[in-house]
Structure 1
Amino acid sequence: MFNNGTLIHDSIQRIHQLSRDAIQLAENLRQQERQLRKQGMALPAGSLQKLEAIHVDLEGLAQKIQEQQTELSQLRMLANTTEFVNSSLDLDEVLNGVMDRVIQLVGAERGYIMLHNRVTNEMEIVVNRKLDPTSSQDEEFIFSRTIVENVARTGEAIVTTNAQEDSRFKEQDSIISLALRSIICVPLIFRDRILGTVYCDNRIKDGLFGKRERRLLNAFGDQAAIAIENAQLFEQIQQTLREITAIKVLLDNILASIASGVMTLDGQEVITSYNLASETIFGLTAESALNQRFDVKLPQIYEQIQREAQLVRSLSENLTVEASPTLDQRGPLSLNFKLSPFKDAERIT
């Protein structure tokens, strides 16, 4: 069993790293945009905006998960029952774990978890359980939709001890055809937002669900909603990671195809990107250049362009400068440098 606190902490750290990766990629792409246009090449439409949006979303996501972790520490009720639910960030595993434990918790014959689909604006069954393996498949997804929709709309749990005699529901087709008796349905609410519902029923016993079961399932639903929200957010993180990886591959391919040398530096003069053409021009491999200080690896060049580089940072303008360094690896060279400032998502150099 995973330690939930450690897992959430590791997830937050991973999100922050993804966020840093996204903004670094955006800066790299912005640096290369003008060069690409001059060579008749172009980035995919919206690449920069998408990366910057991903950066903002990831930082917000890290904050949300941190806040959720604080809330989780305050929820001690039903700790033994919810231990499994809160130990996983895999959405399918969480949903199935919730469903199994709900059935055990209230002794239902059938159970469903329904989540709100933001695209269709409908409640959709994502997990279902039934204890009777001989029941027909036609019955599998038949439930009291009126009860579910009422709970999803109001955020209030509904319990009926005998639906056959309950004036609120006894005329419903599903109640009659399935001979439903005990029904309980509670909302899954996260910060005043209804994620879905948990619905359980029993066709055999009257009075199976009462105030005690309602309180129990409501408390469990609060925990389950947090776990489901976390799992959904983590699923989004994984999708974001796949998108960032694809963009990084694209950037690497673009840099490799540029004939001119391309090198980027961070605010501490550390080399953060270095393409194949740079290896040829400077006689220095990417492996030995990356993550090293520019003034240490290529001091002959740094001495000749440092004044212009400082102007680029202070004025946030592009400059062109010529240099004639003598490199240990290449001998005397005549080079033309085009210096451009990096800007972050807030347009700060």
Structure 2
Amino acid sequence: MRQRLASLRHLVRYLARVTRQDLPAMHTEWERLVALVEDIQRDVEALAVAHRQSLALMDVAQAMNSSLDLDTVLQMVIDYIIRLTQAERGFLMLREEQGELRTVIARHWEQEDLSPAELNFSRSIVQRVVATGEPVLTSNAQHDPRFRNGESVALYHLKSVICVPLKVKDRLVGVIYVDHRMRSGAFAPQHLGMLMAFAHQAATALENARLFQEVRRALAEVSQLKDLLDRVFASIASGVVTVDTEGRIVMCNRAAERLLCASFEEVKGYPWEQVLAPLASTLRSYWPVVVEEGREVVGVEVSPHWPGRGRVYWQLSMSPWYGENRQLLGATLVIHDLTEQRHLEEMQRIFERMVSPEVIRQLSWEQLRPGGERREITVVFADLRGFTALGEQVSPETLVTMLNRYLALAAGVLLEEGGTVDKFIGDAAMAWFNAPVPQPDHALRAVRAAWAMQQRLRQLHPQLPPAWRLGMGIGIHTGEAVIGLVGSERRLDYTVIGDAVNVAKRLEEAARPGQILLTEATWRLVQERVAVRPLPPLSVKGKKTPLRVYEMTGLR
């Protein structure tokens, strides 16, 4: 174009010097001038088109780079291509992992999606671009010797077509295909060049969008995994507390919040020696082992007095907390709460002192239902005679020592017979038979135990000072009662409630030292196995009719 402008300036200067004699020769120069102006005009128009296309490419690049959403980018790509090339339709196809092309966007000049019936294009042209990696421009595919034998070209009456590859680092990732089915020569070589430049921008945008989608999927997976780990971490029954190398609390789960009686927000960032003050001396001794030597500490049992909870029983484990490349971040403290277990163990030990080992071996804990059950039992009450008067003569310590000796004798005999020792009431002991494990001979077990108590008491007396030789009155009754767990969540007793207990207590109160009294209900169950002496009917508190009572004199 510079050469043409130079020629134009030369002609203008020549014409400025023309004289009348030169007019006949001007015709040729004039024609030359017109031709130069027309050429320059075409060059200017081409430059204007190229400028518009460059501006359009800049707009496209800016628009594509403004979004990382893959669907938005793909739709934007085709709409810009159709507008820039004035095509009728545009397709964007991406290559699957298996190598097959998949049409992901198909639009027409009105910027709307093509209907399924309009999804037809020249497969032979597309396959050629995929196979060679080179673009294709044809002004009339039906007359183009390269494609006129293609079935799709003839079937769909295709004319103007441009198909260019989408490449990322020399790797073909798809193709862009535009056509005009009504016009031949709709596309010029400059359209092809523009589309190639545009395809490069589009491929880059598509790759960025694809990478963004992968990153977003990865972040979603990581987020889901984190949520899962958070839920798992929160659901762990044991308390978990993480501490950084400076000794400040970084994280704790819900179980730890319950154990520490403090929320995570209340302890976050605080020194563990402050938050875990009752454990400070213990943890301080193990901190160098874990943090400096990188060793685990497992199964340390402690029983601190924790504010808001009282005495607790915990098992502690500490281990190093590592990050990437085994960088030490701090320590992890795991707290297993054994408080309830220790309380249950203590209850079991108490229960074992109440119930004979034989009964415990047969017992199912499911039988100890809260609320209890009605059952026939035989109740035994045994009380020391003269104990209150003796208490005025000796010290409390001596009195307790002597009492324990008598009650241990009574409890031992009752447990040997499979009885359940319910309680000690001062200098009296209460027990029952036939619960929690059924004992068909419960009445016989009760009278045997009572007889053995009196015999062993006589054997004990020679070992005691005369002032300590106390007698025991025993009352036995058989009747229905409710046996089970009574109380609240904080305090439960395994006990028996019913009139049978009251009757046995009244008989024990009426018995003289060394005497065993039975009600008629008990006597009828054991009459063939014991010797008795009938006594006058006994009037007792709470009963309108006097009770028929028998004194046991021996076993048969």
For the criterion TM > 0.5, the same-fold answer is yes
What is the aligned length?
272
Closer, same or farther: CA 323–227 of 1 in aligned 2, 3 Å: farther
Cα distance in structure 1, aligned partners of 2:181 and 2:172:
27
- Per-residue CA distance 1:58-112 (angstroms, 9 max, x = gap): xxxxxxxxxxxxxxxxx99922232221111211111111111010111111110
Structure 2 residue 310 is matched with structure 1 residue 339: no
Equivalent residue number for residue 204 of structure 2: 226
Cα distance in structure 1, aligned partners of 2:145 and 2:281:
88
- Per-residue CA distance 1:241-300 (angstroms, 9 max, x = gap): 333333333223323332211112345544333112211222221222235553554455
Closer, same or farther: CA 77–105 of 1 in aligned 2, 3 Å: closer
Closer, same or farther: CA 105–319 of 1 in aligned 2, 3 Å: same
Cα distance in structure 2, aligned partners of 1:293 and 1:76:
62
From the CA coordinates, give the structure whose radius of gyration is larger: 2
Range with greater deviation from structure 2 (232-241 or 182-191):
232-241
Equivalent residue number for residue 193 of structure 2: 215
Structure 2 residue 191 is matched with structure 1 residue 191: no
1:227-306 aligned within 5 A: 227-295=205-273, 297-298=275-276, 301=279, 304-306=282-284
Cα distance in structure 2, aligned partners of 1:92 and 1:111:
15
SS of alignment partner, residue 194 of structure 2: helix
- Per-residue CA distance 1:199-258 (angstroms, 9 max, x = gap): 111122223333322221122122222222222222233333333333333223323332
Counterpart code for 2:99: N
Alpha-carbon distance, 1:333 to partner: 5.5
Instruction: Give the TM-score normalised by the residue count of structure 2.
Output: 0.44
Range with greater deviation from structure 2 (244-253 or 318-327):
318-327
SS of alignment partner, residue 153 of structure 2: helix
Equivalent residue number for residue 64 of structure 2: 85
Equivalent residue number for residue 105 of structure 1: 84
Alpha-carbon distance, 1:341 to partner: 2.4
Alpha-carbon distance, 1:328 to partner: 5.3
Alpha-carbon distance, 1:346 to partner: 3.7
Counterpart code for 1:338: S
Structure 2: 5+ residue runs without aligned partners?
1-53, 329-556
Equivalent residue number for residue 17 of structure 1: none
Range with greater deviation from structure 2 (77-86 or 215-224):
77-86
Cα distance in structure 2, aligned partners of 1:213 and 1:92:
25
Equivalent residue number for residue 180 of structure 1: 158
SS of alignment partner, residue 320 of structure 2: coil
Cα distance in structure 1, aligned partners of 2:270 and 2:83:
59
Closer, same or farther: CA 272–157 of 1 in aligned 2, 3 Å: farther
Range with greater deviation from structure 2 (330-339 or 282-291):
330-339
Equivalent residue number for residue 46 of structure 1: none
Range with greater deviation from structure 2 (273-282 or 285-294):
285-294
- Per-residue CA distance 1:154-212 (angstroms, 9 max, x = gap): 43222222222222111101111222122111222223332211111112222333332
Alpha-carbon distance, 1:123 to partner: 0.8
1:10-21 aligned within 5 A: none
| Percentage of pairs with the same residue | 36
SS of alignment partner, residue 83 of structure 1: helix
Report if aligned partners of 1:284, 1:329 keep a CA contact under 8 Å in 2.
no
Cα distance in structure 2, aligned partners of 1:270 and 1:171:
78
Alpha-carbon distance, 1:301 to partner: 3.8
Equivalent residue number for residue 144 of structure 2: 166
Equivalent residue number for residue 116 of structure 1: 95
Closer, same or farther: CA 293–111 of 1 in aligned 2, 3 Å: farther
Report if aligned partners of 1:116, 1:123 keep a CA contact under 8 Å in 2.
yes
Counterpart code for 2:121: F
Structure 1: 5+ residue runs without aligned partners?
1-74
Counterpart code for 1:96: Q
Equivalent residue number for residue 142 of structure 1: 120
Equivalent residue number for residue 374 of structure 2: none
Closer, same or farther: CA 153–312 of 1 in aligned 2, 3 Å: farther
Cα distance in structure 1, aligned partners of 2:119 and 2:271:
63
SS of alignment partner, residue 166 of structure 1: coil
Report if aligned partners of 2:142, 2:159 keep a CA contact under 8 Å in 1.
yes
Report if aligned partners of 1:255, 1:275 keep a CA contact under 8 Å in 2.
yes
1:45-64 aligned within 5 A: none
Range with greater deviation from structure 2 (268-277 or 329-338):
329-338
Equivalent residue number for residue 73 of structure 2: 94
Cα distance in structure 1, aligned partners of 2:99 and 2:106:
20
Cα distance in structure 2, aligned partners of 1:348 and 1:288:
28
Cα distance in structure 2, aligned partners of 1:291 and 1:275:
15
Of the candidates 271, 274, 287, which is equivalent to residue 309 of structure 1? 287
